Chain A
Amino acid sequence: MSTFDTIPSTKKDALVEMLLRLADDRLILGHRLSEWAGHGPELEEDLALANAALDMIGHASSLYGYAAELEGKADEDHYAYFRDDIDFKNIAMMEPPRGDFAYTIARLFLFSVYSYLLYRELTEHVDDEQFRGMLNKHFKEIQYHFRHSREWVLRLGDGTEESHRRMQDAFDELWMYTGEMFEMDGAADAAVQHNLFTDVSSLKKEWLKLVGETLDEATITMPGDEQYMYSGARSGQHTEHLGRLLAEMQFLRRSYPDAEWK
């Protein structure tokens, strides 16, 4: 699978495609979270966000590692450092700059609820032992991200006037990126047929319920679905932000391909 959205024809192609989709979501969000290191509102939260970033990048690393094995690439770095933005398969929600703390928490929360539901399905049904093993291992950390971000949504939403306003703004701004999580396409259909993925559109109802309950408790008004929804990032139509993020993330490795830690 490369630059343009084509339908994987073999089970291996379908598996690689799904590994990269999951990994790219996590790498890009992990990078955005890592931008908080040293800037967290409190030392403890600085650690929490850095931990979440490391979890995400760790998940991406093992998923890429397996894809590299299947595709015969040298290692996981091939996917992280030597692809251009058009080849990345992450959803657009991961791309905008980190924003304020409320924005960071809202994004982590929306994605963690989704990941929780997705992994709960995948760990049951994926027909590939190595892939399922990774998913099981990552699932525990995803449950923690869900819990941690949810606690913050409650406190900021139902907190001071300013924290409430910022939390509401964050959800309003992010909402247009949530549609992509539940989109199916030819590649996803093929993966479902090989029992390597699940029909993500069926997760939306429960996602709305879980998100709605938390937002309700946090006194946040849930944004409506009848608005513009971003689409196309999984097949390469990214926001302007991804290119800049990659420029920063990839420059060292691309400028000095043989650089090593000494």
Chain B
Amino acid sequence: MTEQTETKHEWPLWEVFYQPKDGKPFEHAGSVHAPDAEMALQNARDTYARRSEGIAFWVVPSDQIVASAPEDAGPFFDPANDKPYRHPQFYSVPRAVKKRK
């Protein structure tokens, strides 16, 4: 038992994406552990493809995904409502365009 614990390394984590239908964007399904890409696909199949979720898989090593940090949420995502010049609502719209709406 001790010998096993010493030599045991956890498999890398992979993010799994599936395509629900042809032409649809891939959606995140979850993650799996796997020693390599082929086994990650196998594990994705066993973990996320048993209830006809989709037609294709992507697996990506989790550490290859570059993510924004939670503390970046402000600068990245806050709407710029206090900067009206970013919104084009001051342009006068020609009457013909309004009519066609």
Contacts and interface: CB of A to CB of B under 8 A. Distances in A.
A100 to B, nearest CB: 12
Interface centre among B34, B42, B46 (most CB of A within 10 A): B46
Contact of A44 (B7, B36, B38, B47): B47
B33 A151 contact: no
Contacts of B50: 51
Given A42-B33, A43-B33, A44-B33, A144 B45 contact: yes
Contact of A48 (B7, B35, B43): B43
A254 B19 CA distance: 46
A155 interface: yes
B77 interface: no
A42 B4 CA distance: 13
Contacts of B38: 151
Contacts of A44: 32-34, 43, 46-47
B48 to A, nearest CB: 10
B11 A42 contact: yes
A148 B42 contact: yes
Interface centre among B7, B11, B35, B43 (most CB of A within 10 A): B43
B56 interface: no
B46 A48 contact: yes
Interface in B29-58: 32-36, 38-39, 42-43, 45-47, 50
Nearest to A159: B35
A144 B46 CA distance: 10
3 A-B pairs with least C-beta separation: A44-B43, A48-B46, A47-B46
Interface of B: 7, 11, 32-36, 38-39, 42-43, 45-47, 50
27 contacts: A42-B11, A42-B33, A43-B33, A44-B32, A44-B33, A44-B34, A44-B43, A44-B46, A44-B47, A47-B43, A47-B46, A47-B47, A48-B42, A48-B43, A48-B46, A51-B46, A51-B50, A144-B45, A147-B42, A148-B42, A151-B38, A151-B39, A151-B42, A155-B35, A155-B36, A155-B39, A160-B7
